[in-house]
């Protein structure tokens, strides 16, 4: 039976210089028969929400998929945090390639869509979150019993035993809105956390990414245009030559092929008050610390190792080959 999912995402393919990776993850989901996508919800992160919404709508329309897209609101979950993350909603100067759509003020919005879909498909729904967790925290405010309806969240989030990628302590998706992440990890919904520990093990060759542009289909040209700056962004070309890290696509793959990774159970707490550590995912792996286990009941399974070749194969077949043959 297909796994029913909602994808919560901050897609930037279509905004010049934006991270195209979320859209690859969405394409991977679209081309995976193991999944049924009930909707896509967009959140402030890589780009402001109206851009993420426009980018998601463009992707769905160009690929002729009948998938509802709903947007969250600008801003973080906690207003005080919003002051400190203002730049996330101020990237208005970035050039928009595909049309910037108006957000329908009457639309139900991402949190309400998540709640209603979860209630309708109670016990038969998973979330895949590949951006900050603002919409999910707001959905929990609307229905505090949401954990009864959602089986699992597979999330690209955090850094368990390695450095962060925004600060030494924090990974972008959690750092962007730590209060929302804290609410979600404490919600009772089981989490499969896909942290930088495994994302940074992935290496996908740029020769394969460059094959997309060999297809003259306008959508492939659009994708290649989005990928080019990403390939050039790392000043260390030797690292780029070894292949690029895929974060969101790995999380997506682990939703339907969990055996590609190895996990350890942990209780994950989110640092929200640290001077240097805001957004840190503090993982207690249920191992005794000086004879004491602080949180014996885990809230997450944390991916710590991954079959990179197995993942690359799936990504190549379902995303690159799909685009090359479009």
Helical packing angle, 308-315 and 248-256, nearest 10°: 90
By beta-carbon proximity to ligand RIB, the closer residue of 22 and 126 is 22
Cα-Cα end-to-end distance for the chain: 27
Count of residues in contact with ligand RIB, rule CB under 6 A: 13
Looking at residues 125 to 164 of the shown chain, list those that interact with ligand RIB (rule: CB under 6 A). 130-131, 156
Q: Cβ distance 150 to 144 under 8 Å?
A: no
Site of interaction with Ca ion (CB under 5 A)? 10, 22, 130-131, 248
By beta-carbon proximity to ligand RIB, the closer residue of 37 and 250 is 250
Q: Which does 172 bind (CB under 5 to 8 A by kind): ligand RIB, Ca ion, none?
A: ligand RIB
CA distance 84 to 106: 29
Q: Exactly one of 78, 171, 271, 278 binds ligand RIB (CB under 6 A); which one?
A: 171
Q: Measured from the CB of residue 42, what is the shortest distance to Ca ion in angstroms?
A: 10
By beta-carbon proximity to ligand RIB, the closer residue of 58 and 172 is 172
Q: Measured from the CB of residue 132, what is the shortest distance to Ca ion in angstroms?
A: 8
Q: What is the largest CA-CA distance in the chain?
A: 63
Check residue 301 for interaction with ligand RIB (CB under 6 A). no
Residues 6 or more apart whose CB falls under 8 angstroms from that of 207 comprise none
Phi, psi at 214, each rounded to 5°: -75, -15
Check residue 172 for interaction with ligand RIB (CB under 6 A). yes
Q: Exactly one of 247, 267, 311, 315 binds ligand RIB (CB under 6 A); which one?
A: 247
- Residue number of the CB closest to ligand RIB reads 172
Q: Measured from the CB of residue 296, what is the shortest distance to ligand RIB in angstroms?
A: 30
By beta-carbon proximity to ligand RIB, the closer residue of 231 and 324 is 231
Q: Which does 171 bind (CB under 5 to 8 A by kind): Ca ion, ligand RIB, none?
A: ligand RIB
Q: What residue ranges in the chain does DSSP mark as E strands?
A: 3-9, 35-42, 69-71, 125-129, 150-156, 191-194, 261-270, 281-284, 300-306
Give the per-residue SS3 of 108-136. CCHHHHHHHHHHHCCCCEEEEECCCCHHH
CA distance 325 to 150: 36
Q: Which does 78 bind (CB under 5 to 8 A by kind): Ca ion, ligand RIB, none?
A: none
Q: Cβ distance 259 to 143 under 8 Å?
A: no
Q: Measured from the CB of residue 218, what is the shortest distance to ligand RIB in angstroms?
A: 24
Structure tokens at 122: 């109670």
By beta-carbon proximity to ligand RIB, the closer residue of 15 and 224 is 15
CA distance 316 to 313: 5
Q: Exactly one of 76, 117, 173, 187 binds ligand RIB (CB under 6 A); which one?
A: 173
- In the complex, the residues that contact ligand RIB under the rule CB under 6 A are 19, 21-22, 46, 130-131, 156, 165, 171-173, 247-248
């Amino acid at each position: 039976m297909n796994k029913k999912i909602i994808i919560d995402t901050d897609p930037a393919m279509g905004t010049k210089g934006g991270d195209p990776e979320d859209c690859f993850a969405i394409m991977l989901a679209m081309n995976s028969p193991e999944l049924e996508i009930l909707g896509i919800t967009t959140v402030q992160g890589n780009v402001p929400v109206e851009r993420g919404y426009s980018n998601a709508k463009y992707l769905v329309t160009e690929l002729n998929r009948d998938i509802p897209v709903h947007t969250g609101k600008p801003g973080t979950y906690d207003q005080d945090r919003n002051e400190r993350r203002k730049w996330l909603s101020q990237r208005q100067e970035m050039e928009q390639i595909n049309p910037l759509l108006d957000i329908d003020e009457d639309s139900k919005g991402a949190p309400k869509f998540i709640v209603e879909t979860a209630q309708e498909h109670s016990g038969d729904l998973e979330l895949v979150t590949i951006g900050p967790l603002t919409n999910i925290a707001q959905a929990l405010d609307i229905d505090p019993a949401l954990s009864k309806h959602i089986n699992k969240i597979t999330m690209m989030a955090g850094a368990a035993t390695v450095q962060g990628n925004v600060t030494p302590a924090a990974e972008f998706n959690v750092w962007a809105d730590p209060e929302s992440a804290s609410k979600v990890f404490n919600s009772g919904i089981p989490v499969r956390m896909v942290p930088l520990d495994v994302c940074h093990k992935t290496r996908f060759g740029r020769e394969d990414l460059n094959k997309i542009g060999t297809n003259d289909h306008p959508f492939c040209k659009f994708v290649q245009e989005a990928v080019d700056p990403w390939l050039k962004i790392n000043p260390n070309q030797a690292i780029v030559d070894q292949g690029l890290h895929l974060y969101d696509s790995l999380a997506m793959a682990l939703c339907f092929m969990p055996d590609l990774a190895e996990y350890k159970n942990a209780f994950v707490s989110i640092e929200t008050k640290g001077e240097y550590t805001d957004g840190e995912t503090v993982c207690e792996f249920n191992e005794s610390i000086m004879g004491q286990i602080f949180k014996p009941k885990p809230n997450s399974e944390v991916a710590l190792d991954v079959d990179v070749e197995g993942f690359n194969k799936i990504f190549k077949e379902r995303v690159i080959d799909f685009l090359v043959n479009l």
